[in-house]
């Protein structure tokens, strides 16, 4: 929801970073890899007991994830770049779930449910993007939903920073993801007639 409706407010610094990196000769795929490495570092930092730095790295990786897309749209998008971007995003998310489960094994079941809801929501998102004849500024149809990447980062940040409510924040994240999956599924039924 935030990615769709609030992007216009954060797009100016994303554009500045994208144009600066393009002037320096960097490619969108290079920035995708950098965002991935920083995103994976989030999990490592959390396991090492540095949750505040982990959250900073999480948001930096998210910022660079937005920058690489902007760079691609101002140069030439590549199908493999899209595959890398989406795959790396999921690996970062899964690595955070694994790190949380490692540090807090008592919350294993809610984290497992969260993983399932992410798989369901992303499956609908990717399949609709693939079979839809609609297109947008991205290289596939981007199906907006209640929870998008920003909402996920907010919820992951709460989970990383407030372990005393991890059980409930994880279940909240699970419910939000599941709702988004159902929302996207119902929208797919309307747009794919």
> pLDDT (tens digit, 9 = 90+) per residue, 90-109?
999 999 999 999 999 999 99
pTM confidence score: 0.87
CA nearest to 110, candidates 39, 45, 175, 42: 175
Domain that holds residue 11: 2-191
Q: What is the pLDDT of residues 126-185, one digit of tens each?
A: 888 778 766 555 555 666 677 778 899 999 999 999 999 999 999 999 999 999 989 989
CB atoms within 10 A of CB 136: 12
Question: What's the pLDDT band for 59 if we cut at 50, 70, 90?
Answer: very high
Rounded to an integer, the average pLDDT of 4-28 is 87
Question: What's the pLDDT band for 50 if we cut at 50, 70, 90?
Answer: very high
CA nearest to 153, candidates 161, 143, 144: 161
Dist CA 88 CA 78 (whole Å):
15
Dist CA 105 CA 45 (whole Å):
17
Output the pLDDT for position 136. Answer: 55
Residues 52/161, Cβ–Cβ less than 8 Å? yes
% of the chain with per-residue pLDDT over 70: 90
Output the pLDDT for position 138. Answer: 55
Dist CA 94 CA 118 (whole Å):
9
Q: Domains in the chain: how many in total? A: 1
Chain-centroid distance, C-alpha 13: 19
Output the pLDDT for position 134. Answer: 60
Domain harbouring 154, CATH code: 1.20.120.1760
Output the pLDDT for position 3. Answer: 60
Angle (CA) 17-38-161 rounded to 5° is 105
37 against 1, higher pLDDT: 37
């Amino acid at each position: 929801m935030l990615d769709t409706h609030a992007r216009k407010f954060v797009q100016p610094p994303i554009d500045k970073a994208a144009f600066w990196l393009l002037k320096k000769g960097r490619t969108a795929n290079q920035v995708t890899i950098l965002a991935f490495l920083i995103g994976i570092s989030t999990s490592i930092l959390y396991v090492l007991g540095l949750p505040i730095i982990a959250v900073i790295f999480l948001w930096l990786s998210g910022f660079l994830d937005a920058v690489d897309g902007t760079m691609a749209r101002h140069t030439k998008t590549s199908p493999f770049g899209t595959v890398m971007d989406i795959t790396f995003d999921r690996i970062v998310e899964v690595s955070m779930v694994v790190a949380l489960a490692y540090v807090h094994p008592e919350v294993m079941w809610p984290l497992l449910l969260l993983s399932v809801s992410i798989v369901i929501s992303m499956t609908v998102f990717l399949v609709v993007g693939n079979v839809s004849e609609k297109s947008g500024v991205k290289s596939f149809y981007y199906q907006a939903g209640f929870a998008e990447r920003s909402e996920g980062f907010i919820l992951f940040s709460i989970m990383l920073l407030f372990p005393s409510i991890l059980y409930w924040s994880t279940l909240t994240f699970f419910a939000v993801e599941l709702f988004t999956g159902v929302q996207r599924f119902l929208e797919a039924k309307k747009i794919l007639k």
